[in-house]
Chain A
Amino acid sequence: MPGPPVTTAPGVKVRVVTLKINEHDIGARETDSILDVAQANHIRIPSLCFLEGLSTWGACRLCVVEIEGYPRPVSACSTTVSEGMVITTHSDRLKRYRRTILELLFAERNHVCSVCVSNGHCELQDLAAECGMDHVRVPYRNQPYAIDSTHEMYRVDHNRCVLCTRCVRVCDEIEGAHTWDVKGRGIECQVITDLNQPWGDSSSCTSCGKCVQVCPTGALVKKGTAAGEMEKHDEFLPYLAQMRGNQ
């Protein structure tokens, strides 16, 4: 039975729906994504490109969940809930998919934790531990990527980049500078500053450092950090996004 409409903002009516996640009955707003609802109900779904406060990207595919009656798994971050949905978040099949996706990411570039400044504070590392990815079956590509240290405070190490585009989105959507973007296609993709200029030469970068704070790995870091020293703080984002949205 659909619930009564609830009001979130003046004039906007949102209906409440009931659904099942992992056999638990849950009530949610129909505008919420599966990931939002799961988080609100303390059900952890692994994700990498998603970050609260930024637009939904749906690219890492780690948050895929199964919905009864759907032909293939869907990403929880980009799928809104609907009445009567029956969702499974941790079937054996999904766990296998997540492990394989992580293997593909680890083999794509160089993610050797022991020499990384983000060691111990890295979302990719945490996800590998969470999903039980203890070895990589596919060959490492071992492509050397450049490191750009031209910025006076920060550094970008493309070897550690997972192309989640959080930096691109935060710079565009929150800072409003749009310094970051992506060039190339397929495996050749790379994040760039301005029109592929060295970061230090960027005329649009405000040096705000938001990109560094939202980067899940050791790709964007503060200069002067040694192995394991680079801690990131992205808690400011939902607050900032909400305050700016209310203006």
Chain B
Amino acid sequence: MNLEDLAEIAEQSAEAEKKQRHCVRVCMAASCQSSGAGAVLDGLRQHAEQDAEGGVHVKSVGCMGLCSAGPLVSVDATEPKTEVMYKDVTPDDAAELYSSLDGDPLERLRCSTDIPFFARQQRIVLKNSGVIDPEHIDDYIAAGGYASLVRAVTERTPADVLREVKQSGLRGRGGGGYPAGLKWSTVAMAPEPHKFVICNADEGDPGAFMDRAVLESDPHRVLEGMALAGYAIGAEHAYVYIRAEYPLAVERLKKAIKQATKKGLLGRRISDTTFNFEIEIRLGAGAFVCGEETALMASIEGLRGQPRPRPPYPAEEGLWECPTLINNVETLANIPAILARGGDWFKGIGTEKSTGTKVFALAGRIANSGLIEVPMGIRLREIVEQIGGGIPDGRRFKAVQTGGPSGGCLPEEHLDMSVEYDTLRSAGSIMGSGGMIVMDETSSMVDVARYFMEFCMTESCGKCVPCRAGTVQMHGLLDKIAEGRATQTDLDLLEDLCDVVQATSLCGLGQTAPNPVLSTLRYFRHEYDEKLRPESERWPLLPVVTGDN
């Protein structure tokens, strides 16, 4: 496949589109599917087949973002060019919706796309999400896909690709925020002949579904990003490590790899050059710790998913002791756009130290929950109040939890903070992979801390003592506080354990496990204090044994 072949596919698609009266897109991402989008799709397809006039294309697409209002359906008319979105569509609505195609939009189900939820977003990673059919490679190609890869391998050197990525200022979207260009060039410089690329799709944070949505909606974008990474660093083999709990993403990814290989965009001699690149899928069996890069690599190697001390870092000594580039889904999904439009363009979005956009999974007590992509530097308040539509049922905002179990809870006074890696960290939370859980006044922050500690406790791999035995004790203390059985001594002990577990744990899981406790203590200490019993009422730890007994 060369650039002309890609252009030809795009042209054919455009021709076919012109012949259509309408294109009806039904969101078939996991969230909408679970609320019955499959039956809506079948219903609309039946009507389209029975339509004597023809020219209506009913298409299954990826995530449209506003998951709380699913199943979502969007209708495009070619002439005049309009777009209407419908929410909460049931299979019973299919007939009415279909018959309204040539007339006025069905106001009953209409979801305005002018609302801030859609209008305030800036889509790079999610550009094709909800637009193209993730199961058809031609759709991706028609949207400009694989052009960056073909252009890179046929016209540019690996150093050029590397330079663009460095120039973009892209930082790892998996949570660490490490500069992607720096990581890439470290692996590129390694002298070893065998290198690997790994796409970390082991998303396990409670409330987070960014990577799943990207893989379900636009799998080719991730594959193209991986191939570009392979070209830049000199790797010919890659793995996608994805959790088995994401069957739809796995299925679409498998299909995408097959399609791309068939078209010569993956596999041997890509675009008739000497560049070979093969991608394999590895399923994770559902261990949160396997998102940690060294544990993930152990798991790919067929070993127990346990981390090992770093250094050596994977860039130096990774999979089977070879230099390995490991990036998360969103990081890789940014690459084709960076190569297509240049590192400078990407750098112009966001802030100086956090460039580009970030995908967040907005969940919790919020009117509009779903998947959003916003430029870095946006105010937290804009996300919560405008994009998210505020807190429902007339309740008050209390906190927003960012970064999953490794992150922290930020109170209202931080809502005007700019969303960037460093500002979030200085406020005691982290960007993480992009989970964002909004809580209202009914949430107990002690319960929130206890919930995340329970998660870390059950997900600890058990290798190092502070994480294995420390999280259990911290959870026990939080239990005691939440149930009103604790005294100040217990709270002091909890804080002490937070310090020990954070400072001495072997890997990121343990090192960050105390974060939800520390951040809730920082901003909501009064809630802990309210639950404490006076020291004088302290329950004795051991029965007192005297000589008289």
A interface residues, Cβ below 8 angstroms from B? 56-62, 64, 72-75, 78-80, 93, 96-97, 100-101, 104-105, 107-108, 137-139, 141, 162-163, 181-182, 184-189
Q: How far in angstroms is the closest Cβ of chain A from B507?
A: 10
1/0 per residue B483-499: CB within 8 Å of A? 00000000001001100
B479–chain A nearest beta-carbon distance, Å = 11
Whether B466 sits at the interface, judged by CB under 8 Å, is: yes
Q: Which residues of B contact A (CB under 8 A)?
A: 287, 289, 304, 308-309, 311, 457-466, 468-473, 476, 493, 496-497, 500, 502-506, 511, 541
Given contact pairs A107-B469, A139-B476, enumerate 7 new A-B contacts (beta carbons under 8 Å). Answer: A58-B309, A79-B311, A80-B311, A104-B469, A105-B469, A107-B473, A182-B462
Chain B positions within 8 Å of A188 at CB level: 462
Contact B503 A189 (CB under 8 A): no
User: In the complex, A189→B465 CA distance in Å?
Assistant: 11
Please, how many angstroms separate the alpha-carbon atoms of A177 and B117 in the complex?
A: 60
Q: List 19 A-B contacts (CB under 8 A).
A: A58-B308, A61-B504, A61-B506, A72-B504, A79-B309, A80-B311, A97-B504, A101-B465, A104-B469, A104-B473, A137-B493, A138-B476, A138-B497, A163-B462, A182-B304, A185-B289, A186-B457, A186-B461, A187-B457
- Set of chain B residues within 8 Å of A187, measured between Cβ atoms: 457, 460, 462, 468-469, 472
Bound Cα distance A149, B469 (Å):
26
Q: Are A186 and B466 in contact, with the CB atoms below 8 A?
A: no
Closest 8 pairs between A and B when the two form their complex, measured CB to CB: A189-B462, A78-B309, A104-B469, A186-B460, A58-B309, A108-B469, A100-B500, A138-B473
Q: Which B-chain residue is minimally distant from A48 (CB atoms)?
A: B465
Across-interface contacts of A141 in B (CB, < 8 A): 472
Whole-angstrom distance between the alpha carbons of A60 and B304 in the complex?
18
A97 touches B500 (CB 8 A): yes
Choose among A73, A80, A93, A186 the residue that contacts B468 (Cβ–Cβ < 8 A). A186
- Please state if A61 and B505 are interface contacts (CB–CB under 8 Å): yes
Residue of A57, A78, A100, A184 near B462 (CB, 8 A) is: A184
Partner of B503, one of A56, A58, A62, A97: A97
Contacts of B462 in A (CB 8 A): 163, 182, 184-189
Do residues B504 and A59 form an inter-chain contact, with CB atoms below 8 A? no
CB neighbours (8 Å) of B503 from chain A are: 64, 72-73, 93, 97
Chain A residues, Cβ within 8 Å of B470: 104
Q: Which residues of A contact B459 (CB under 8 A)?
A: 185-186
Please give, as numbers and ranges, the residues of chain B lying within 8 Å of A64 by CB-CB distance. 503-504
Q: Could you tell me if B457 and A101 are in contact, using CB atoms closer than 8 angstroms?
A: no
Contact of B504 among A73, A107, A108, A138 (CB under 8 A): A73
Question: How many angstroms from the CA of A58 to the CA of B472 in the assembled complex?
Answer: 20
If A58-B309, A75-B309 touch, does A105 touch B461 (CB 8 Å cutoff)?
no
Say how far B316's CB is from chain A's closest CB, in angstroms: 12
Complex Cα gap A75–B309 (Å) = 8
* Residue from B304, B465, B470 having most chain A Cβ neighbours under 10 A: B465
Select one of A59, A73, A185 contacting B464, CB under 8 A: A59
Question: Do A138 and B468 touch (CB < 8 A)?
Answer: no
In angstroms, Cα B306 to Cα A58, docked, is 12
A54 to chain B, nearest CB (A): 14
A97-B500, A107-B473 known; A139 vs B464 contact (CB < 8 Å): no
Cα–Cα distance between A188 and B266 once the two chains are bound (Å) = 43
A185→B459 CA distance, assembly (Å): 7
- List the B residue with the shortest CB-CB distance to A165: B463
Q: Which residues of B contact A93 (CB under 8 A)?
A: 503
Using Cβ atoms and an 8 Å threshold, which residues of chain A touch B457?
186-187
Report the separation of the CA atoms of residues A139 and B460 in the bound assembly, to the nearest whole angstrom.
20
With contact pairs A59-B465, A101-B465, A186-B460 given, residues A72 and B506 touching in the complex (Cβ less than 8 Å): no
- Cα distance A186–B464 in the bound complex, in angstroms: 9
Bound together, the chains give a CA A162 to CA B464 distance in angstroms of 10
Q: Measured between alpha carbons, how far is A105 from B497 in the docked complex, in Å?
A: 13
Q: Known contacts being A101-B504, A139-B473, A139-B476, is A61 close to B466, with CB within 8 Å?
A: yes
- Smallest CB–CB gap between A88 and chain B, Å? 14
B506 proximity list for chain A (CB < 8 A) = 58-59, 61, 75
Could you tell me the distance between the alpha carbons of A162 and B506 in the complex, rounded to whole angstroms? 16
Chain A, residue nearest B461 (CB): A185
Residues of B close to A137: CB separation below 8 A: 493
Closest A residue to B304 by CB, please name it: A182
Residues A60 and B309 in contact in the complex (CB < 8 Å), given A100-B497, A101-B504, A186-B457: no
Q: Which residue of B lies closest to A141 (CB)?
A: B472
* Minimum C-beta distance from A227 to chain B (A): 23
A59 contacts B463, C-beta separation under 8 Å: yes
> When chains A and B are docked, how far (Å) is the Cα of A181 from the Cα of B306?
13
A60 pairs with B464, CB closer than 8 A: yes
Residues on A with C-beta less than 8 A from B469 are: 104-105, 107-108, 187
Residues on B with C-beta less than 8 A from A60 are 464-465
B287, A185: Cβ atoms under 8 Å? yes
Q: What's the nearest-Cβ distance from chain A to residue B166, in Å?
A: 24
Judge whether B460 and A101 touch: CB under 8 Å: no
Inter-chain contact B511/A72, CB cutoff 8 Å: yes
In the complex, A104 Cα to B500 Cα: how many Å? Answer: 11
For A189, give the chain B residue with the smallest CB separation: B462
* Beta-carbon nearest neighbor of A138 in chain B: B473
Instruction: Please indicate which of the listed interface residues A61, A80, A108, A182 has the most CB atoms of chain B within 10 Å of its own CB.
Output: A61
Complex-state Cα separation, A61 to B289, whole angstroms? 18
**Nearest B-chain residue to A56, judged by Cβ:** B309
What is the CB-to-nearest-CB distance from A157 to chain B, in angstroms, rounded to a whole number? 18
A131 to chain B, nearest CB (A): 13
A105 — which chain B residues lie within 8 A by C-beta?
A: 465, 469
- Nearest-neighbour CB distance to chain B for A136, whole angstroms, equals 10
